[in-house]
Amino acid sequence: MLYRFQSKSSATVLMLHDAAEPLLRALGREPGAQGLLAAADLPALIQGLERAIEAQEQPQAATDGDDAPDTEPVVDFKRRAWPLLEMMRRAAPRGHDIVWTA
């Protein structure tokens, strides 16, 4: 499933459900076919998402440099959250809602 986040203040953000659903839960929203992040709620939601990002960050384990070349890079929660967080930061001062559809 593909989630589409839209706001008048920025370009559309598309995310696969594996990335979007944990973000929505971190925002206190239940993933679903559609939803709204109201402009009045955005400052608190931004702070909540930033706290969730901090909680997810783990110190990098020291490596010997022996990583196998075929190892795929891991996309962490912070990188997955960035597009939506930036959309929220742009929408908040302008008073724009963010709507999502799946």
SS3 for the chain, per residue?
CEEEEEECCEEEEEEEHHHHHHHHHHCCCCCCCEEEECHHHHHHHHHHHHHHHHHHCCCCCCCCCCCCCCCCCCCCHHHHHHHHHHHHHHHHHHCCCEEEEC
Kindly tell me if the per-residue pLDDT of 25 is higher than 70: yes
Q: What is the mean pLDDT of residues 31-35?
A: 95
| pTM for the structure as a whole | 0.82
Kindly tell me if the per-residue pLDDT of 20 is higher than 60: yes
Q: Given pLDDT bands bounded at 50, 70 and 90, which one contains residue 73? A: confident
Q: Given pLDDT bands bounded at 50, 70 and 90, which one contains residue 59? A: low
